[in-house]
């Protein structure tokens, strides 16, 4: 007795070795039929013994290649066709209409074993790859994902590689970047010792304290010895990156564990195929240069993820700073000639290769807490994986925010987030935004009917969206944050949304940032906020936290504890007279004020620095929170004046930032709980969505979640999408799609 099934598998199943996996599984079970690519997935026609067919279907879900992402499996019965063999067929017309592109993935153990085997023909070859690993998104120019449509089209396969490429039983079957030293990409060195070993030359230069620009998977890194303070300080000076932490790449997991505390979940992230930068608690005896991550107790650590990285780190035998290869305020360098010019003033030498990059992208950054990996920067290894949008409608382009920009393309209920693009202030970043936008639109065949953008009238992202000349939906910043959290959690109902961040333009013309919203995808009601304080100097206040500290002291009726000067006198006068000030309810700016009052930071060289240093300085203590009352009115208001008075009292007693930080974080969590209790009593809502950059703070997030769950709330947090501005494009896209589907585009902002 035989049976026949027609099976359709949806997800990231094209270009990831899925058809060879199906072939090998079917042949092993004695089944006959065929497999081929069709629109949006893989189709399998399989017949044979019913028990073997059932085993085959189980294996499709349980044993799929690690690179594949199976989202659904549909099957139907069919009449027997009398297949005599099992075959891999050519893709059918339109096979890539809804195809998914795999992210770039870390080198797999099998390839690394070959690279380190003196008897293997790919021994020491720094571009070894197979269907389970290597470049994907960064090299594909258009679909279908075939070699002629990638930057590997410039490299004709040698006879041995070509034989592997067409053999279904080989793990390099249809591995589009397949190559070896005879036919593939090659390394070249600029400014290094002459010779046939560019990697060895780079290692010798790094040991001498040089800075080497290294072309990697999605762009350039700037590398130097992470234990050499002079080299790290030189890199900071040349790059003009004065304090922002550098990522460090370690040669092995054991070497990393000597420098940082690593638990099992963090180990899983570090060694995953995504291979992100993971924020880890640094050990005091780490042995790294002090200026690798000044003022912080964490370290952004990663392991080698390309064969070239593995060779370089193995031969160097120590940790290397591995930071983005760019000048301050510019996108990552990705083209050889452009990099030689842009990075020439920074790097002493270059390690180049001739495999071109289509889609440049940075390393991703994650942090593990509350039982999950939480993405802080979404790029290599995660992009361009799709996400369910939860709402369907015509295609939409959502432009995101101006800081930590990520945009979103929405189609057929699916969202594609771009890689992290950076801050849109610089012209080169704006050009990169347009280039990546057009590339992703082509890859995913998205044809926007409308655009979504932030409500702020001066955002570059809004202008770049409106320049497309399409109907537009203006979405309030914090509503987008909460919508993003709802979408990621697969929710659609109205919730209590706590959106805390640095700044977002409010419909009332003030700067919001400590918001309590009653929100769903259709709109929101502002139900609570932090009591506003005057922000003197606009955006300058975010770079000079003492201005916020002074404003909060004035509002609390307390004397300024810092040194007096003509500048502080002038700013105090501005605050008292409300001249050249903007009211702000920002929670991020409250963090800045407390960091300044605690003696940590009066001037910042990067966004969020004061808050990060306050979190790092905080001790684990058994002390009561500062008073932070919630005033129960038509609009709830969290009054920071008693909190500031208590912070100043502790500062006068030299309690130290560890004590101040502990009591401050505890006060915020307690106030959020109290506010949510009051809003539940009013609205009947029992679910709280937490979003905004403040919830990247582990202390705040953990204490807030614990308090809310203890109070009986269901709490939604984000994980695969950043809580900060790198995630709001997802919320914008969902809100705009809902509005477009209901024919409400062009009727003003969603409130």
What confidence score (pLDDT) does residue 438 get? 96
Which residues, including other chains, have CB under 8 Å from residue 691's CB and lie 6 or more apart? Answer: 481, 482, 484, 485, 497, 498, 499, 718, 723, 727
What confidence score (pLDDT) does residue 562 get? 84
Average pLDDT score over residue span 671-697? 98
CA distance linking residue 544 with residue 537, whole number of Å = 10
Can you read off the two tokens belonging to residue 260? 């940082």
What confidence score (pLDDT) does residue 537 get? 87
DSSP string, 122-146: TTT-TT--BTTBB-STTTB-SSS--
Contact assessment for residue 404 and residue 377, using Cβ atoms and an 8 Å cutoff = yes
What confidence score (pLDDT) does residue 751 get? 47
Beta strand extents in 378-449 (DSSP E only): 386-388, 396-398, 408-411, 414-417
Q: For the chain, how many residues are written?
A: 751
Alpha carbon 609 to chain centroid, angstroms: 18
CB atoms within 10 A of CB 270: 25
Q: What are phi and psi of 260, to 5 degrees?
A: -145, 155
Structural domain boundaries of the chain? 3-88, 187-365, 404-479+725-737, 500-717
Can you read off the two tokens belonging to residue 620? 């684990």
What confidence score (pLDDT) does residue 517 get? 98
Specify the range with the lowest mean pLDDT, choosing from 368-377, 418-427, 740-749: 740-749
What confidence score (pLDDT) does residue 585 get? 97
CA distance linking residue 125 with residue 160, whole number of Å = 15
Nearest Cα neighbor of 730 from 412, 470, 401, 446 is 401
DSSP 422: B
- H-helix segments, 528-602: 540-543, 545-555, 566-577, 587-597
Which residues, including other chains, have CB under 8 Å from residue 111's CB and lie 6 or more apart? Answer: 122, 128, 129, 130, 132, 133, 134, 307
Percent of the chain with pLDDT over 70: 97
Contact assessment for residue 295 and residue 243, using Cβ atoms and an 8 Å cutoff = yes
DSSP 381: T
CB atoms within 10 A of CB 308: 25
Specify the range with the lowest mean pLDDT, choosing from 64-73, 78-87, 735-744: 64-73
Give the pairing of strands 212-215 and 349-353: parallel
Same fold, 404-479+725-737 and 500-717: yes
Can you read off the two tokens belonging to residue 142? 């258009």
CA distance linking residue 522 with residue 483, whole number of Å = 9
Look at domain 187-365 and name its CATH class: alpha beta
pLDDT surpasses 90 at 239: yes
N- to C-terminal Cα separation, the chain: 63
Which residues, including other chains, have CB under 8 Å from residue 414's CB and lie 6 or more apart? Answer: 386, 387, 388, 389
Which residues, including other chains, have CB under 8 Å from residue 735's CB and lie 6 or more apart? Answer: 452, 473, 475, 479, 480, 483, 521, 750
What confidence score (pLDDT) does residue 287 get? 94
Average pLDDT score over residue span 701-708? 98
pLDDT digits (tens, 9 = 90+) for 506-538: 999 999 999 999 999 999 999 999 999 999 988
Contact assessment for residue 323 and residue 277, using Cβ atoms and an 8 Å cutoff = no
Torsion sign (Cα): 742, 748, 749, 751: negative
CA distance linking residue 221 with residue 156, whole number of Å = 28
CA distance linking residue 694 with residue 276, whole number of Å = 21
pLDDT surpasses 60 at 750: no
Average pLDDT score over residue span 467-496? 97
CA distance linking residue 567 with residue 571, whole number of Å = 6
Which residues, including other chains, have CB under 8 Å from residue 713's CB and lie 6 or more apart? Answer: 496, 676, 680, 686, 687, 688
pLDDT digits (tens, 9 = 90+) for 92-106: 655 455 567 889 999
Average pLDDT score over residue span 164-192? 94
Contact assessment for residue 141 and residue 151, using Cβ atoms and an 8 Å cutoff = yes
Can you read off the two tokens belonging to residue 545? 């936290």
CATH number for the region 3-88 comes to 3.30.70.100
Contact assessment for residue 127 and residue 154, using Cβ atoms and an 8 Å cutoff = no
pTM for the predicted model, two decimal places: 0.94
Look at domain 500-717 and name its CATH class: alpha beta
Can you read off the two tokens belonging to residue 510? 């003030």
pLDDT surpasses 80 at 25: yes
pLDDT digits (tens, 9 = 90+) for 531-584: 999 999 888 988 999 999 999 999 999 998 888 899 999 999 999 999 989 999
Give the pairing of strands 220-225 and 212-215: antiparallel
DSSP string, 221-290: EEEEETT-HHHHHHHHHHHT--SSPPEEE-SSHHHHHTTEE--HHHHHHHTSSS--EEEEEEPTT----G
pLDDT digits (tens, 9 = 90+) for 53-81: 999 999 998 888 877 888 889 999 999 99
Average pLDDT score over residue span 264-279? 97
* Fold category of 404-479+725-737 in CATH: Nucleotidyltransferase; domain 5 (3.30.420)
How much is the mean pLDDT over the chain?
94
Task: Map tokens 């008693």 to a residue.
Answer: 642
Average pLDDT score over residue span 329-350? 95
Can you read off the two tokens belonging to residue 292? 């690798």
CB atoms within 10 A of CB 418: 25
Give the pairing of strands 41-48 and 277-282: unpaired
CA distance linking residue 81 with residue 33, whole number of Å = 9
Q: What are phi and psi of 312, to 5 degrees?
A: -60, -50
Q: Exposed, middle or buried: residue 10 (CB in 10 Å: 0-12, 13-18, 19+)?
A: middle
Nearest Cα neighbor of 726 from 295, 361, 245, 446 is 361
pLDDT digits (tens, 9 = 90+) for 351-410: 999 999 999 999 999 999 999 999 999 999 999 999 999 999 999 999 999 999 999 999
Alpha carbon 6 to chain centroid, angstroms: 38
Contact assessment for residue 704 and residue 659, using Cβ atoms and an 8 Å cutoff = no
């Amino acid at each position: 007795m035989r049976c026949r099934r027609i099976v359709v598998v949806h997800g990231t199943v094209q270009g990831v070795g899925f058809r060879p996996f199906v072939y090998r599984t079917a042949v092993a079970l004695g089944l006959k039929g065929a497999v081929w690519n069709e629109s949006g997935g893989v189709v399998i026609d399989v017949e044979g013994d019913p028990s073997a067919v059932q085993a085959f279907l189980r294996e499709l879900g349980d044993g799929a290649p690690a690179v594949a992402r199976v989202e659904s499996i549909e099957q139907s019965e069919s009449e027997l066709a009398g297949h005599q063999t099992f075959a891999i067929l050519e893709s059918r017309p339109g096979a890539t209409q809804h195809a998914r592109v795999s992210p770039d993935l870390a080198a797999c153990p099998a390839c690394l074993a070959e690279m380190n085997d003196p008897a293997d023909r790919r021994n020491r070859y720094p571009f070894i790859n197979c269907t389970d690993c290597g470049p994907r998104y960064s090299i594909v120019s258009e679909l279908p994902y075939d070699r002629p449509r990638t930057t590997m089209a410039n490299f004709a396969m040698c006879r041995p590689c070509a034989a592997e490429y067409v053999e279904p039983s080989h793990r390099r079957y249809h591995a589009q970047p397949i190559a070896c030293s005879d036919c593939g990409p090659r390394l070249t060195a600029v400014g290094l010792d002459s010779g046939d070993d560019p990697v060895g030359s780079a290692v010798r230069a790094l040991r001498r304290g040089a800075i080497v620009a290294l072309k990697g998977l999605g762009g350039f890194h700037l590398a130097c010895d992470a234990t050499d303070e002079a080299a790290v300080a030189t890199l900071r000076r040349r790059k003009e990156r004065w304090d922002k932490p550098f990522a460090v790449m370690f040669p092995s997991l054991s070497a990393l564990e000597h420098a940082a505390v690593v638990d099992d979940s963090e180990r899983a992230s570090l060694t995953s195929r995504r291979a992100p930068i993971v924020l880890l608690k640094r050990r005091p005896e780490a042995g790294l240069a002090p200026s690798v991550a000044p003022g912080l107790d964490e370290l952004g650590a990663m392991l080698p993820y390309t064969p070239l990285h593995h060779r370089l780190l193995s031969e160097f035998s120590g940790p290397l700073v591995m930071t983005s290869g760019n000048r301050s305020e510019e996108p990552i360098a990705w083209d050889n000639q452009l990099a030689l010019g842009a990075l020439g003033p920074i790097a002493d030498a270059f390690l180049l290769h001739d495999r071109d990059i289509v889609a440049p992208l940075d390393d991703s950054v994650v942090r593990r807490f509350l039982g999950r990996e939480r993405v802080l920067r979404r790029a290599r290894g995660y992009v361009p994986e799709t996400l369910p949008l939860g709402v369907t409608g015509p295609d939409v382009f959502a432009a995101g925010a101006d800081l930590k920009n990520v945009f979103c393309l929405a189609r057929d209920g699916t969202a594609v987030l771009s890689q992290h693009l950076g801050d849109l202030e610089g012209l080169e970043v704006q050009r990169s935004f347009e280039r990546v936008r057009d590339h992703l639109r082509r890859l995913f065949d998205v044809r926007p009917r409308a655009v979504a953008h932030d409500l702020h009238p001066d955002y570059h992202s809004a202008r770049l969206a409106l320049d497309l000349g399409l109907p537009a939906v203006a979405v309030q910043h914090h509503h987008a944050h909460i919508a993003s959290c709802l979408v990621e959690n697969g929710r659609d109902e109205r919730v209590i949304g706590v959106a805390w961040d640095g700044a977002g333009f409010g419909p009332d013309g003030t700067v919001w940032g400590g918001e309590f919203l009653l929100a769903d995808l259709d709109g929101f009601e502002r139900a609570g906020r932090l009591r506003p304080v005057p922000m003197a100097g606009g955006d300058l206040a975010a770079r000079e936290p003492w201005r916020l500290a002074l404003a909060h002291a004035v509002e609390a009726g307390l004397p300024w504890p810092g040194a007096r000067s003509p500048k502080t006198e002038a700013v105090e006068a501005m605050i008292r007279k409300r001249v050249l000030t903007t009211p702000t309810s920002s929670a991020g700016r409250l963090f800045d004020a407390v960091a300044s009052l605690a003696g940590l930071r009066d001037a910042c060289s990067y966004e969020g620095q004061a808050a990060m240093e306050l979190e790092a300085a905080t001790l684990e203590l058994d002390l009561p929170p500062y008073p932070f009352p919630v005033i129960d009115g038509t609009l709830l208001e969290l009054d920071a004046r008693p909190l500031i008075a208590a912070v100043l009292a502790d500062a006068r007693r030299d309690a130290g930032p560890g004590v101040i930080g502990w009591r401050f974080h505890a006060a915020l969590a307690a106030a959020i709980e109290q506010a949510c209790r009051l809003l539940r009593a009013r609205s009947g809502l029992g679910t709280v969505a937490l979003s905004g950059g403040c919830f990247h703070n582990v202390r705040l997030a953990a204490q807030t979640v614990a308090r809310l769950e203890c109070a009986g709330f269901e709490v939604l947090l984000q994980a695969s999408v950043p809580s900060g501005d790198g995630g709001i494009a997802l919320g914008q896209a969902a809100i705009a799609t809902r509005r477009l589907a209901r024919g409400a585009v062009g009727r003003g902002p969603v409130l």
